[in-house]
Amino acid sequence: MTNRAAEHAGPIRSCVGCRTKQPQGQLSRLAVLFDDGRPKVTYDLKRRLPGRGAYICADNPKCLARVIQKGLLARALRVSDPDLSILMSRS
Ligand SMILES: [Zn+2]
């Protein structure tokens, strides 16, 4: 009982940096891990992590810089003061 048409097109998600709506395949999924109490943002490359996810343009470093500078992920992921070190190490 899968919806093949929807699977083919892929769900549409908005980038948290630029708010552009895109097919999910064009975006990287970010999720939060709770290690040691502090929420840590990580790339969810397999899209299997539970919980709330946020999406960001996969190939746009400006979106990444913007979400880090403006703290947009805390709101998108509903966590306070997340550890963004994984994102920073990529840029
Ligand atoms: Zn973007």
Write the CB contacts of 4 (distance below 8 Å, at least 6 apart in sequence). Answer: none
Q: Which domain holds residue 63?
A: 4-90
pLDDT of residue 9: 66
Cα-Cα end-to-end distance for the chain: 41
Residue 64's CATH number? 3.30.1230.10
> How many structural domains is the chain composed of?
1
pLDDT of residue 89: 75
The answer to whether the beta carbons of residues 73 and 33 sit under 8 Å apart is: no
pLDDT of residue 3: 57
Q: What is the pTM of this model?
A: 0.83
pLDDT of residue 1: 58
The answer to whether the beta carbons of residues 34 and 79 sit under 8 Å apart is: no
Rounded to the nearest angstrom, the distance between the alpha carbon of 55 and the centre of ligand 1 is: 8
pLDDT of residue 88: 85
Rounded to the nearest angstrom, the distance between the alpha carbon of 1 and the centre of ligand 1 is: 33
Backbone φ and ψ for 47, nearest 5 degrees, come out as: 55, 45
Q: What is the mean pLDDT of each run of 10 residues along the chain (91 residues)?
A: 60 96 94 88 93 94 95 94 86 46
Rounded to the nearest angstrom, the distance between the alpha carbon of 39 and the centre of ligand 1 is: 23
Write the CB contacts of 68 (distance below 8 Å, at least 6 apart in sequence). Answer: 84, 87, 88, 91
